A and B are shown apart, each in its own frame.
Chain A
Amino acid sequence: MRRMPLLVAILVFSCACGSGSSSTQDGAAATPADTTDSALPSIYTALERLDRDARRTRLAEMAAEEGTSLTLYTSMNVDDASVVLGGFEDLYGIEVELYRASASAVLQRVLQEAQAGFAGSDVVAVGSAEMSVIDENGLLEALQSPYVDEIVRSGVYPNWAAVYLNVFVAAWNVDRVPTDAVPETWEQVLTDFPDRLVMEVSDFDWFAALVRDYFVAELGYSEDQAVSLFESAAAHARMIEGHSLMTELTAAGEFDMAASAYQHGVERFQADGAPVSWEPAVEPLVIRPTGIGIQRTTDAPATALLFVDYMLSDAQPILVDLHRTPANQTVEGGVPAQYDSITVDPSIVGDDRGKWESLYERVVSASTEPTG
């Protein structure tokens, strides 16, 4: 025990060093990394008044001068991303380095890198919830692209724009759920499949959109009633992290019903012959844009802008081929417009985010079964 004081002294010393060196940083939120004056505004100036073709040619020249490859952080699955990025590489001969992780992991990565002053990526493309946070932290450049005018209105922000729409659907294993048991409403999804339902641990925005804009606004539930409907469903459901994993395990027969699968993921498995389906659809579908933006720390701004232009234009038909729903309204395809849908409201991922996140955390964490 007489050795303890020395250990304590070292501990105190290291704590003291800690507080001294961190006066400008806050653990809860990232601060923008030190950035040199960005070249992007001058690039925008240089591109002014050029038509689309001329802009593309000029940007490609500027990108060639930068001579670097591009790093993209995204939550898009690797298979789809490699097809989309392959298209860019074929067009411009510029290699794209890809970091793929779940949207929350990408968000943490971007915030931590900003805090550590580490310039990891040039472009980031994740869900609107995460894009909003990255933007709030001042980590994105202003985005000026002629293609932004063609993007769905709910997906346009000053510093980022939607590149495609993720469509949340209820999906089921067709071998396990006979046609006459296929749910028609969200209430049935949440109540008819105890012990056979799977939910995703981080889908607070899907949950919030359904509670607020469907159960409360359309069906007249009180918010408490709607939340407790989800709570009772979760108490008898499995929780999974990742939509692709959720769909794959549903296709394999581990679960009968996936509460919030991605429509494009389900269709990809269907195309491979897996016994999974989302149609006839449980309405309303919940739509959440996935956005794209340029990081302030980029050292290849022209290349980054060329890539964003590409994603908002040439990549859109490729996304349709991958069963995704394009954000560019001039491109046809994706989820048929006849379905009722709700788009995740910006306030859900903005001002009210804390409320919905903690409510959903309560839903997914609470256990009604005996501990142990």
Chain B
Amino acid sequence: MIDRAVRVREFVRDVGAPTSRARIDPQRVVIGVVVLLMGYLVIVPLGYLLWETFRQGDSFGLDGFRDAFEVTGLGTLTYNSVVFATGATTVAVVVGTLLAYLVTRTDMPFRGLLFAAAIIPVILPGVLHTIAWVFLASPRTGLINLALSVLPGDPTVDVFSMPGMALVEGLHSVPLALLLMAGAFRSVDPATEEAALTEGAAPPTILWRVLLPSVRPALLGVLLIIAIRSLEAFEVPALLGIPARRWVFTSRIWSALRGYPLRLDEAGALSIPLLLLTTLGIVWYSRLTRRRAEFQTITGSSFRANPVPLGRWRTPVLLVTVVYMVVAVVLPIAMLAYVATQPFYSMPSFASLGSATLENFRQTFSSIDSMRAIRNSVLLGVGAASTVAAFGAIASWLVIRSRLRGRWLVDNLAGIPLVIPGLVMGLSLLIVYLRVPVPIFGTLWILLIAYVTRYLPYGMRSATSAMLQVGDELEEAAHVAGATWWQTMRLVHIPLILPGLGVGWIYVFLVSIRELSSSILLYSPGREVLSVLIMDQWLGGRIPELAALGVVMVATLGTLTALLWRLRARAGVEYL
């Protein structure tokens, strides 16, 4: 570290010390610009949303609320939304935490391979994951139900039900829970664990009594993130909830935006309880983890612990894990691949395997729509990831390193999008750009704005984590050597946090490519993104084509992510 500081000092001396102080403090300009931009991105859409919700012609009123809850009451919607989110969060956090424990702390065989396999669904867009589960667990034709039908008593798994919805949503969030909890477990000093082991404690006891208490803040954070993701989930409520008439806030908002006239006030009224629920979550979390340091528990130094021996449980645990992998990871992708080879959607049989064809793949590659959607998604993914990383770098510096007044505002503003569901963000931006004469409606820019705003907290988070790992002394050294603020930023700060930013970049790139809930309200013809195209193909009954597109997408994203992950590993960053 000192060597680096010396090098920086020498470098600064070489390029010449600053000659005069700038008249306008660049730090203040930067903070001003960042606050204004963030305010524009975050607050303006919410302001418009509120205004549209309460507006009745030229005056204000509550008609939107009356209409919004006329068919399905506020109580039912809240109940359904909370039950759905609780179920999904429980599935994701329990499975994710157990898997994380097994792959980071025990001697289960094939840990690396299983870890990699378990995070594969992270590249599946929600819409594709949900459709794959329709193939697997629809009551009459789902593969799992066909397999179960040989059992006595005719047991059935029904994906079009509240437990089915919670399970599918939860399974889709398992990779995130796993990644975050694996990071948390790795950062726990193994000393206590080893002591417990010496005392003869069994692995479950160690997990429950030793590990979980020491990662409590991280666990609460994961609970919160996944609960919010589940509350704002759109794909599962739309594709599985509507057929079963299990309405939650998001599916109701979607429904309000489908009729004529466009019921913006009703959609706004439905958004407000949802925003309150997600905000309550954040308030609850910050009360539980008052001390700021605890927010960073999932980052920090890493320890290499001796694995806890599973003993006689080693084989059964491995078997259960493999069964989980097959059901949650292999089968959904395998079903997509199977359906992609069919002339029309039908269940696997000898006859259907005989009629397998690659025609759907040929169509995918020759279809202008598919190719355009891939291009749009990649463009937006790269654009959003890069913009968010840049914002994150500057904003996190302002919050952590600078002593400027007003930096709390940056921190608060960057956190707000966490509580704004994608559908609400889409709705808000739609309202803004239908009214403001800025010509971005009908372009990719409106989608970019939505993505950047939504994923700002992730960029901020990864930059903050990276920055906390870098000591102050390097910047101080640069300052002592006479470097200007900008030189310090460019030569010291950004290069040091680059690997951390890279992890955030990959994550934002992936979630941007998967994004549906904002895009579906904001895209325009010719500007479709992949998940919108898949949704449209589903609604249009083009199931084999969407499966083929899905397979192409999974293969491409999988390869890309693996490459990026390797690059990240080389850059020396161990985990998100």
Smallest CB–CB gap between B526 and chain A, Å? 7
Are B51 and A357 closer than 8 Å at their CB atoms?
A: no
Closest to B243 in A: A238
Smallest CB–CB gap between B279 and chain A, Å? 12
Given contact pairs A11-B47, A252-B141, A361-B71, A27 touches B55 in the complex (Cβ within 8 A): yes
Are A245 and B50 closer than 8 Å at their CB atoms?
A: no
Given contact pairs A73-B525, A97-B525, A372-B80, A252 touches B345 in the complex (Cβ within 8 A): yes
Are B76 and A371 closer than 8 Å at their CB atoms?
A: yes
Given contact pairs A255-B140, A372-B80, A107 touches B539 in the complex (Cβ within 8 A): no
CA A273 to CA B263, docked complex, whole Å? 42
CA A111 to CA B57, docked complex, whole Å? 18
CA A241 to CA B433, docked complex, whole Å? 28
- Interface 0/1 of B423-439, CB less than 8 Å to A: 00000001111111101
Smallest CB–CB gap between B539 and chain A, Å? 4
Smallest CB–CB gap between B351 and chain A, Å? 10
Interface size class of B (residues with CB under 8 A): 35 or more
Contact of A101 among B347, B536, B542 (CB under 8 A): B536
Smallest CB–CB gap between A8 and chain B, Å? 10
Are B442 and A116 closer than 8 Å at their CB atoms?
A: yes
Are B435 and A246 closer than 8 Å at their CB atoms?
A: no
Given contact pairs A113-B442, A116-B434, A274-B344, A77 touches B540 in the complex (Cβ within 8 A): yes
Closest to A19 in B: B51
B361 at the interface (CB under 8 A from A): no
Closest to A71 in B: B525
Closest to A13 in B: B47
Are B409 and A6 closer than 8 Å at their CB atoms?
A: yes
25 contacts between A and B (CB under 8 A): A7-B43, A10-B39, A10-B47, A14-B44, A18-B52, A21-B435, A21-B436, A22-B435, A28-B264, A29-B261, A79-B542, A99-B525, A111-B260, A113-B524, A118-B442, A118-B524, A238-B243, A241-B539, A252-B345, A254-B141, A269-B344, A272-B343, A273-B343, A357-B259, A371-B79
A191 at the interface (CB under 8 A from B): no
Smallest CB–CB gap between A96 and chain B, Å? 12
| 8 closest residue pairs by CB, A with B | A244-B541, A14-B47, A99-B525, A242-B539, A116-B441, A245-B541, A28-B261, A248-B541
CA A272 to CA B264, docked complex, whole Å? 42
CA A29 to CA B246, docked complex, whole Å? 29
| Residues of chain A contacted by B39 (CB below 8 angstroms) | 10
Given contact pairs A99-B526, A120-B524, A104 touches B258 in the complex (Cβ within 8 A): yes
A142 at the interface (CB under 8 A from B): no
| Residues of chain A contacted by B140 (CB below 8 angstroms) | 253-255
- Interface 0/1 of B329-361, CB less than 8 Å to A: 000000000000001111100000000000000
Smallest CB–CB gap between A352 and chain B, Å? 13
| Residues of chain A contacted by B80 (CB below 8 angstroms) | 371-372
B412 at the interface (CB under 8 A from A): yes
Smallest CB–CB gap between B368 and chain A, Å? 9
Are B43 and A272 closer than 8 Å at their CB atoms?
A: no
| Residues of chain B contacted by A118 (CB below 8 angstroms) | 439, 441-442, 524
Smallest CB–CB gap between A126 and chain B, Å? 12
A83 at the interface (CB under 8 A from B): no
- Interface 0/1 of B531-572, CB less than 8 Å to A: 000001011111100000000000000000000000000000
Smallest CB–CB gap between A371 and chain B, Å? 5
Within 8 A of A (CB), among B178-216: none
A247 at the interface (CB under 8 A from B): yes
Smallest CB–CB gap between A1 and chain B, Å? 12
A362 at the interface (CB under 8 A from B): yes
A318 at the interface (CB under 8 A from B): no
Contact of A247 among B83, B526, B541 (CB under 8 A): B541
Within 8 A of B (CB), among A23-41: 25-29
Are B242 and A246 closer than 8 Å at their CB atoms?
A: no
Closest to B54 in A: A15
Closest to A119 in B: B442
| Residues of chain B contacted by A101 (CB below 8 angstroms) | 536
CA A249 to CA B243, docked complex, whole Å? 12
Smallest CB–CB gap between B475 and chain A, Å? 27
Smallest CB–CB gap between A173 and chain B, Å? 10
Are B48 and A14 closer than 8 Å at their CB atoms?
A: yes
Contact of A27 among B44, B141, B265, B543 (CB under 8 A): B265
A145 at the interface (CB under 8 A from B): no
Given contact pairs A104-B259, A252-B346, A238 touches B48 in the complex (Cβ within 8 A): no
Contact of B52 among A17, A27, A97 (CB under 8 A): A27
Smallest CB–CB gap between B362 and chain A, Å? 15
B4 at the interface (CB under 8 A from A): no
Are B435 and A11 closer than 8 Å at their CB atoms?
A: no
| Residues of chain B contacted by A102 (CB below 8 angstroms) | 539-540
Q: Which of B44, B50, B525 has the most CB of A within 10 A?
A: B525
Within 8 A of B (CB), among A257-291: 265, 269, 272-274
A121 at the interface (CB under 8 A from B): yes
Smallest CB–CB gap between B283 and chain A, Å? 12
| Residues of chain B contacted by A241 (CB below 8 angstroms) | 242, 539
| Residues of chain A contacted by B44 (CB below 8 angstroms) | 14, 17
B247 at the interface (CB under 8 A from A): yes
Smallest CB–CB gap between B331 and chain A, Å? 18
Smallest CB–CB gap between B432 and chain A, Å? 8
B257 at the interface (CB under 8 A from A): yes
Smallest CB–CB gap between B349 and chain A, Å? 11
| Residues of chain B contacted by A27 (CB below 8 angstroms) | 52, 55, 262, 264-265, 431, 434
Are B540 and A244 closer than 8 Å at their CB atoms?
A: yes
Are B409 and A3 closer than 8 Å at their CB atoms?
A: yes
Are A3 and B442 closer than 8 Å at their CB atoms?
A: no
A239 at the interface (CB under 8 A from B): yes
A108 at the interface (CB under 8 A from B): yes
| Residues of chain A contacted by B538 (CB below 8 angstroms) | 242, 245
B244 at the interface (CB under 8 A from A): yes
Within 8 A of A (CB), among B263-277: 263-265
Are A251 and B344 closer than 8 Å at their CB atoms?
A: yes
Q: Which of B343, B346, B408 has the most CB of A within 10 A?
A: B346
Within 8 A of B (CB), among A329-372: 353, 357, 361-362, 364-367, 369, 371-372
Are B264 and A108 closer than 8 Å at their CB atoms?
A: no
CA A3 to CA B416, docked complex, whole Å? 14
| Residues of chain A contacted by B409 (CB below 8 angstroms) | 3, 6
Given contact pairs A21-B437, A365-B245, A272 touches B47 in the complex (Cβ within 8 A): no
Within 8 A of B (CB), among A209-249: 234, 238-249
CA A365 to CA B72, docked complex, whole Å? 7
A56 at the interface (CB under 8 A from B): no
Are B141 and A253 closer than 8 Å at their CB atoms?
A: yes
CA A17 to CA B160, docked complex, whole Å? 44
B138 at the interface (CB under 8 A from A): yes
B46 at the interface (CB under 8 A from A): yes
Given contact pairs A101-B536, A253-B141, A111 touches B262 in the complex (Cβ within 8 A): yes
B398 at the interface (CB under 8 A from A): no
A100 at the interface (CB under 8 A from B): yes
| Residues of chain A contacted by B243 (CB below 8 angstroms) | 198, 238-240
Closest to A235 in B: B245
Within 8 A of A (CB), among B25-58: 39, 43-44, 46-48, 50-52, 55, 57
Smallest CB–CB gap between B170 and chain A, Å? 16
Within 8 A of A (CB), among B210-246: 242-246
CA A136 to CA B349, docked complex, whole Å? 51
